[in-house]
Structure 1
Amino acid sequence: MRIRTTVAAALAAGCATALLLPAQAQAAGSVHLEKIYYDSPGTDRGGNTSLNGEYVQIHNSTSKGVSLTGWTVRDAANHTYTFGTYTLGAGKTVTIRTGKGTNSSTTRYWGKSWYVWNNTSDTATLRRSTGTTVDTCSYNSSRYDYKTC
C-alpha cells in the first residue's frame, strides 16, 4: 500500500522517472562482490600457484566504467587489498588473486606470500576510497571451496 501511495504521489508530481523502486534500483546495476574462492586446490603449502588459486571477484553490473582507485577489499582479520589507479569496465569482472603476478585489466595480484581467506569461514568487505561499505560476503563452510556472493 505504501509503495502504491508513493508511486501515485510521484506520478501526480510528474516525478515518475526520479523514483526507483527496489527492483528498478537493482536493475540499474552495482559494483559488488561476486565470488570468493577461499580454498585453493591441493594442500596449502604457500606456493605461488596455490596462493593464486585463492581469489575474490568483483563485478560491475552498471552500464558505465567505475573507478575503483583507492577502493579496498578486506577479510575479517583486516588483510587489505587497495586498488591503485584502476577502472572496472561496464559489465566486467576483476579477479584479485592472493599471490604474486603481473596485473592486467581482468586480474590483479595482492602480492601475499601466505593465504588470506580462511578455509572454513571469513567475510569479505568491499569499500569505496571514502571508507563507505559497498558490499560484504560471508561464508561459513568447509563443505565447498568457494562462495558465490
Structure 2
Amino acid sequence: MSEKGTVSAVRYAVGGLGLVLIGIGAWRVAEQPDLVGVLVWLAGAVVLHDGIIAPLVLGVGLLLVGRSQRGLVRGALIVGGALVFVTLPLLLRPGAAPNPSALPLPYGRNLAVVLAVVAAVAGAIALVRWWRARPQRRPAGED
C-alpha cells in the first residue's frame, strides 16, 4: 500500500472511530432523565466557548505579545481557562458538598498553585525560545 493509501486508511479509521464515539455520546445524552436540561447545558457551553472564551483568548494573545510568542500565550491561557472552568463550579457551590469526597482538599489554593505552574512552564518555554533565538557572540579573535 502506498503512503497516500495508508494515510487515507488511517483517516477513515479515525473518522469512523469518531462517528462511533459521537453515537455513544448521543445515546448517553438521550438516556438522561432531564434531556432538556442537558441540551440547554450543552448549548450554553457552546455559546460560552464560541462567544466568550475563544474571542477573549485570541484577543488577549493578540494584544500581549509579538508574533513569536503569541501561540504560547494563547496555549497557556487556554489551559488556565480550562482549569478554572473545571474547578469553578465546585468553588462557587453554596453550602456543603453533597459528597464529602467532592472537596477533600482546598481547591482554591490548589487551583492557584496549578495556575502558577502553568505560568511558570509557559515562562520557561518562552525563555528557552528567547535563548535559542538570540544571536551568538563570537570571541574577539575569531573571524
TM-score, normalised with respect to structure 2: 0.23
More strand by share: 1
Structure number, greater radius of gyration: 2
TM-score, normalised with respect to structure 1: 0.23
More helix by share: 2
